């Protein structure tokens, strides 16, 4: 079956899904996006994702392209038409199509694109069983990374550098050696005392939806959390290290810049967080 996308009011074949060449998302990266995991026939944490979308749109003064009540219907329909039981649904909103000018156009209708694709949960579990590697790169992004903007070129370059180094993620690092976040994930460590540590999300990182849900998972498992910065050196000396995102949940890190974390194998606390995640996350029927 061919893939189906939603583009500005129409469901079209993915191969023929296009936006105008003067869409401001294409011209200026003037837009935002969200990615929701689809798992076991449910869209995971959709209300929180839509809440963050609302914040991103508000911060950039972009109107909703459809009403907030209609967007979940479109998302579910795209998931249904693509027969996705496990995978993801991606939505992108831009300021719309207008003659190329830096200032905001007047009266332009925002553009909306929604796509969905399948994923193999067994492959993801296999990856979690062996863990992944990260490298570190100096922070070079704009200051408003709390907005989930489509302007991701620094992230692209960082993740390409990770791939070339045989790693699967790159961490952005402040000049003082403090870890910020990954190219597409939040960063966590677990201390020798079993305390979960992650950087506060008030400034400098994206407030991950999976990150937020993992706080609730940790409470259910009786784990302590500290929101504070941590250095690369502290991460390398940690009991466990992991990343979180909608597409990885809690993914163990087994090496940082080529140095093994602990014994070089995924840790039990990270895996327990991962396995308990769907018992806590909000699940909306797809």
Q: What is the pLDDT of residue 256?
A: 98
Task: Single out the residue of 39, 55, 44 nearest to residue 207, CA to CA.
Answer: 55
* pLDDT, averaged across the chain: 97
Residues 231-262: tens digit of each pLDDT: 999 999 999 999 999 999 999 999 999 999 99
Q: What is the pLDDT of residue 146?
A: 97
Q: What is the pLDDT of residue 176?
A: 95
Q: Give the model's confidence band at 46: pLDDT under 50 very low, under 70 low, under 90 confident, else very high.
A: very high
Cβ distance 227 to 212 under 8 Å?
no
* pLDDT > 90 in the chain, percent: 99
Based on the residue annotation, tell me whether 148 is a catalytic residue of this protein: yes
Residue by residue, DSSP assigns the chain as ---EEEETTEEEEGGG----TTBHHHHH--EEEEEEEEETTEEETHHHHHHHHHHHHHHTT---SS-TTTHHHHHHHHHHHTT-SSEEEEEEEE--B-SS-SSPPSSPPPEEEEEEEE--HHHHHHHHHH-EEEEEEE--S-S-TTS-BS--HHHHHHHHHHHHTT-SEEEEE-TTSBEEEESSSEEEEE-TT--EEE--SSSSS---HHHHHHHHHHHHHT--EEE---BHHHHHTSSEEEEEETTTEEEEEEEETTEEPTTSS--HHHHHHHHHHHHHS-EEE-
Distance separating alpha carbons of residues 195 and 200, to the nearest angstrom: 15
Q: What is the pLDDT of residue 168?
A: 98
Q: Give the model's confidence band at 280: pLDDT under 50 very low, under 70 low, under 90 confident, else very high.
A: very high
The neighbouring-strand residues paired with 91 are: 34, 114
pLDDT(191) > 80:
yes
Name the active-site residue from 118, 127, 133, 148.
Answer: 148
Q: What is the pLDDT of residue 1?
A: 73
pLDDT(274) > 80:
yes
Mean pLDDT to the nearest integer, 60-73: 97
């Amino acid at each position: 079956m061919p893939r189906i996308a939603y583009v500005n009011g129409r469901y079209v074949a993915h191969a023929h899904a296009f936006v105008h060449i003067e869409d401001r998302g294409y011209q200026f990266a003037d837009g935002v996006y969200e990615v929701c995991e689809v798992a076991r026939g449910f869209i995971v944490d959709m209300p929180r994702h839509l809440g963050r979308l609302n914040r991103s749109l508000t911060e950039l003064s972009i109107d909703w392209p459809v009403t907030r009540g209609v967007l979940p219907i479109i998302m579910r329909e795209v998931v249904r038409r693509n027969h996705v039981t496990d995978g993801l649904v991606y939505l992108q909103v831009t300021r719309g199509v207008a003659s190329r000018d830096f200032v905001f156009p007047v009266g332009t209708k925002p553009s909306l694109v929604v796509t969905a694709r399948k994923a193999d949960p067994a492959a993801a579990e296999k990856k979690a069983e062996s863990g992944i590697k990260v490298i570190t790169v100096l922070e070079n992004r704009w200051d408003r990374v709390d907005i989930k903007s489509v302007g991701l070129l620094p992230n692209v370059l960082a993740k390409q550098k990770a791939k070339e180094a045989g790693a699967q993620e790159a961490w952005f690092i402040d000049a003082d050696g403090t870890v910020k976040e990954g190219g597409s994930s939040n960063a966590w460590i677990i201390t020798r005392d079993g305390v979960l540590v992650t950087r506060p999300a008030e400034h400098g990182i994206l407030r991950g939806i999976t990150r937020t849900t993992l706080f609730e998972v940790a409470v259910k498992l009786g784990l302590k959390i500290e929101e504070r910065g941590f250095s690369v050196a502290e991460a390398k000396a940690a009991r466990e290290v992991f990343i979180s995102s909608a597409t990885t949940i809690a993914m163990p890190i087994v090496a940082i810049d080529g140095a093994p974390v602990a014994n070089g194998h995924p840790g039990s606390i990270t895996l327990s967080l991962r396995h308990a995640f769907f018992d806590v996350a909000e699940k909306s029927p797809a």
